[in-house]
Amino acid sequence: MPTQINTYGDIASLANTIYEDAMFVARENNLMAALVQVFNDRSNDELRKNQKYTSATINEIAETDDLASQAFTPSVDQTLTPAEYGAQFFITDKRREADRLNVTQDASLELGKAFGQKVDTLLVSKFNALTGGTVGAAGSNLTWANVFAGIAKMRAAFAPQPWTIVLHSYQYYALGTAVLPGVTVTNSPALQDAVYRQFYQNSVSGVDIVLDDNITSGTSCFGAIFSRGLSLALDWRRGMRIEPERDASKRGFELNLSGRFAYGIWRPQYGIAINTAGTAPA
């Protein structure tokens, strides 16, 4: 008589599947909102514009010269234009009743995280519009010389402090590997220690370096050094809100997220674009 071996395969179709908690899409934290000029004094769609005065010219004058008046007239420099942003999840009654996860709560959390990332991504997308100058070159790794060149240009532009350097992790990787043990860093063992203590955040010449991976990576990656709370702006007209709405005919709930804001450069002369390679390490 043949031997019958009883295996798990015989009952595989009857066995329950074990489901762990669902994971959210990984997202970068919203960093930039804390580093830019923030307005929240309007709720309509009016444009917000800043103005810039002409500058005075100081001339040498003789004893009997009569001073002549110079123009001191403001002109529009930058404009922020509000727009509305939104997203929706529709969750049926059956889904809510059968889902072992708290799908409504999880969907709301995902909408909020996505909105925060959208704001951050829009702000960092303006780094290449800063007009104080550019350091580095597309396709080339970021160097400490680029960092100090950016700081020198900020000082030469009389840019108000404090300043912040915002980089993609791939850009900062090149700075970290430049001070690896065994790499010659003249008279700077403290710099090596500092980079290894805080790989994801550092400070050089009194300027904070922070990382934001909502910056678009690639061979032409734009970070920046800029005057904190001045060079870029975020103009809230209505903050993010999530509103549930029952749809009886579809037998479910809409989760509607919306928010209205403007964003852009504000004092672009007080910012330096850092354009270098930002590709994944091998």
Residue 100, pLDDT > 60, answer: yes
Q: What is the distance between the alpha carbons of residues 37 and 52, in angstroms, rounded to a whole number? A: 17
Question: What pLDDT, on the 0 to 100 scale, is given for residue 19?
Answer: 54
- The model's pTM: 0.82
Amino acid at 132: G
Residues 6+ positions from 172 with CB-CB distance below 8 Å = 142, 199, 200, 209, 211
What's the mean per-residue pLDDT of the chain? 86
How long a stretch of residues is the chain? 282
**pLDDT tens digits along 45-63:** 999 999 999 999 999 999 9
28, 120, 121 from 213: Cα distances, Å: 6, 10, 9
Q: Does the pLDDT at position 81 exceed 70?
A: yes
Taking only the tens place, the pLDDT of each residue in 272-281 is 999 999 999 8
Rg (CA), the chain: 27
Q: SS3 letters for 71-134?
A: CCCEEEEEEECCEEEEEEEEEEHHHHHHCCCCHHHHHHHHHHHHHHHHHHHHHHCCHHHCCCCE
Q: Phi, psi at residue 26, to the nearest 5°? A: -65, 135
Residue-wise pLDDT for 236-246, tens only, equals 999 898 899 99
Tell me what pLDDT residue 73 has.
93
In whole angstroms, give the CA distance from residue 222 to residue 201: 18
Q: Considering only CA atoms, which of 75, 82, 73, 115 is closest in space to residue 233?
A: 82
232-247/37-39 β-pairing: parallel
Residue 184: alpha-carbon gap to chain centroid: 33
Query: Which residues make Cβ contacts (< 8 Å) with residue 151, sequence separation at least 6?
Result: 163, 204, 205, 207, 225
Each residue of 131-184: pLDDT tens digit?
999 999 999 999 999 999 999 999 999 999 999 999 999 999 988 887 654 445
